[in-house]
Amino acid sequence: MTFAASFNTLAEAELSDALDDYEQASPGRGAAFLATVERAVTDLVAYPESAPVLSGPYRKKVLSRFPYTLIYRIKGNEIRILAVAHQKRRPYYWLGRA
């Protein structure tokens, strides 16, 4: 089965905010963060069940080099990314996005 990934609108906003923060802190760091997210999404598309189950249908893909986690669910052949969550901030704030 071929999978496709998509971002929830709020997850897109979180990604954009994190990119801006990293780029303002250190030019080029935002691009490194985006590349890390893109690699993680590519991994999820290839191996959607490789990340551990967080709760119920939700899974979490921890990013390397950055304190962020992609929260997602698999529905049919779609990987829906619900949050680009900072690991030191409000856990489970994204639950209403399902």
Q: How confident is the model at residue 96 (pLDDT cuts 50, 70, 90)?
A: confident
* Angstrom distance (rounded) from CA 67 to CA 87: 5
pTM over 0.75: yes
**Phi and psi torsions of 85, nearest 5°:** -100, 130
**Axis crossing angle, helix 9-25 with helix 29-46, rounded to the nearest 10:** 140
- Residue 92 pLDDT level (bands cut at 50, 70, 90): confident
**Among all chains, which residue has been given the structure tokens 């551990």?**
52
Q: pLDDT (tens digit, 9 = 90+) per residue, 34-87? A: 999 999 999 999 999 999 999 899 999 999 999 999 999 999 999 999 999 999
Walk me through the domains of the chain, giving residue ranges and CATH numbers: 4-92 (3.30.2310.20)
